[in-house]
Structure 1
Amino acid sequence: MNKRKLIMGLVSVLFVVTPFLISSPVAWSQTNYGTIRGTVSDPTGALVPEVEIEAIHVSTNRKYTTPTTEAGVYALINLPLGEYQVTAKRAGFKEAVGSRVIVSVGSTTTLNITLEVGEVTQQVTVEETFAPLLTPDNAEVG
């Protein structure tokens, strides 16, 4: 009798515990993240490498950045859920501000960006040279 109760108790425990063991990996695979990916091209349609992509989470103002690959492709992965403002920057092009993108659970949002050719900017280097105002030997200005 005791053996039978023990076996029935073990079987009951297995029936109760088994669904939790089976469902645990499914629950662990749920993520609270998403991805924004896409390409960056110029007005001719050529893909542009080495563009800095920045996504700013609208609610938290946190920035996530990545460069485009040599093929002009980017992916911002594991972004927390929410709304993002995406921008693209590269020398020789105007900064592109993309539309706002919503990242939802497990989603991948595609945002392709076209950069406009920008103006060439000049850089001026200013160097300061000091002429001595007084000669230390005789106090002349000079």
Structure 2
Amino acid sequence: MTRRSLTHAFPGLALLLLLSLAASPAMAQSMAAGGEIVGTVSDETGGVLPGIAVTLRDQERGTVREMTTDAAGRFRAPLLPVGTYEVTVTADGFATTRRTDLVLTVGATLTVDVALQVAASDEIVVTAEAPTLEPGRVHQASTVTEKSVANLPVNGRNFIDFVLTTPGVTRDVRQGDISFAGQRGTLNSLVVDGADNNNTFFGQALGRTGSGRAPYQFSQDAVQEFQVNRNAYSAEYGRAGGAVINVVTKSGTNEFHGSLFEFYRDKSLNENSWVNKTAVPARPKSPYNFDQFGGSLGGPIVKD
């Protein structure tokens, strides 16, 4: 290619690169990275109300999303970060209704139906946690919450081991992998913040610890929560013949927060081996010391 033709081609290549970068976030968007809130707004008689203003506010981050109900009185807010939300519905002639402390977990669809009352009062506030049932979900899934990740004991600080607390999961005795309903561990898929986190060469999750290969994973303190999808999950996940482990990492909020940890092992905490004890003469414990420490810190750069 001559210098002249290369000069003419450069603007086109730059435009193509710009379009590719602009499209990347849209391609990466997925319900796997968060959840959604849906609902129907009606009056006291059950009649649906179209064109009603609905406001969603993330109580931890302060971010707001506004929308209006459609002709059937429905609203839908997809691609929401996990967290605690407040839903406010405002309409002329009706009291403003506010639903607070609605907990949205990863991969979940939270249904919030609101029945407006004629304006006898200025505002109605209902404080309630998210419903435990998801009527629209047809697949089997379990959520390991942030509280469980922070407080449950785990050997080796590998967050994947928390999967063993969900139904139908065992450790494959052949290679040490996580097995769902008897499937091989290589058939599972790990999704982190909506992105594929699998080793395509070996056909396994990057955090896999079986087969004697060294694991590649991130700190347990970086994990906020994760969802374990066991079967009949949405086609948006794909790839897996076993389970899909859908992980969301921690993010900043309007309040500073953090954690510290120390993982300590020493020969004084271990029993002497059978080989050492039966040797003639008996041998003392082998030297061993392992001390791992770290932490996490999050907070606002600018408060919302």
Under a length normalisation based on structure 2, what TM-score does the superposition of the two structures give?
0.29
Q: C-alpha displacement at 1:81, in angstroms?
A: 0.8
| Counterparts in 2 of 1:66 and 1:30: CA distance versus 1, 3 Å | closer
Larger-Rg structure: 1
**2:41 & 2:67 partners in 1: Cα distance?**
12
- Note if 1:72 corresponds to 2:67: no
Under a length normalisation based on structure 1, what TM-score does the superposition of the two structures give?
0.60
| Counterparts in 2 of 1:67 and 1:29: CA distance versus 1, 3 Å | closer
**2:31 & 2:59 partners in 1: Cα distance?**
23
Q: Deviations over 1:61-85 (max 9, x none)?
A: 1101111001101111111110001
Q: C-alpha displacement at 1:32, in angstroms?
A: 2.0
RMSD value over aligned CA atoms?
1.8
Say how many residue pairs are matched: 92
- Note if 1:59 corresponds to 2:92: no
8 Å CA contact 1:86, 1:100 repeated in 2: no
- Note if 1:118 corresponds to 2:126: no
Partner of 2:86: 85
**2:90 & 2:30 partners in 1: Cα distance?**
35
8 Å CA contact 1:35, 1:75 repeated in 2: yes
| Counterparts in 2 of 1:90 and 1:55: CA distance versus 1, 3 Å | same
User: In structure 1, what residue type is equivalent to 2:95?
Assistant: K
Partner of 2:50: 49
Q: Deviations over 1:72-106 (max 9, x none)?
A: 01111111110001110111111001142111111
Partner of 2:205: none
SS class of match (2:32): coil
User: In structure 2, what residue type is equivalent to 1:53?
Assistant: V
**1:32 & 1:72 partners in 2: Cα distance?**
27
| Counterparts in 2 of 1:44 and 1:83: CA distance versus 1, 3 Å | same
**1:91 & 1:52 partners in 2: Cα distance?**
10
8 Å CA contact 2:34, 2:105 repeated in 1: yes
8 Å CA contact 1:50, 1:67 repeated in 2: yes
**2:68 & 2:116 partners in 1: Cα distance?**
14
Where does structure 2 lack aligned partners over 5 or more consecutive residues? 1-28, 121-304
SS class of match (1:31): helix
**2:30 & 2:115 partners in 1: Cα distance?**
35
Where does structure 1 lack aligned partners over 5 or more consecutive residues? 1-27, 120-142
Q: C-alpha displacement at 1:109, in angstroms?
A: 0.6
Tell which deviates more after alignment, 51-60 or 94-103.
Answer: 94-103
- 1:1-142 to 2 correspondences below 5 Å: 31-118=32-119
Return the structure number with greater relative CO, CA threshold 8 A, min gap 6.
1
Identity %, equivalent residues = 30
- Which stretches of structure 1, 4 residues or longer, exceed 3 Å deviation after superposition? none
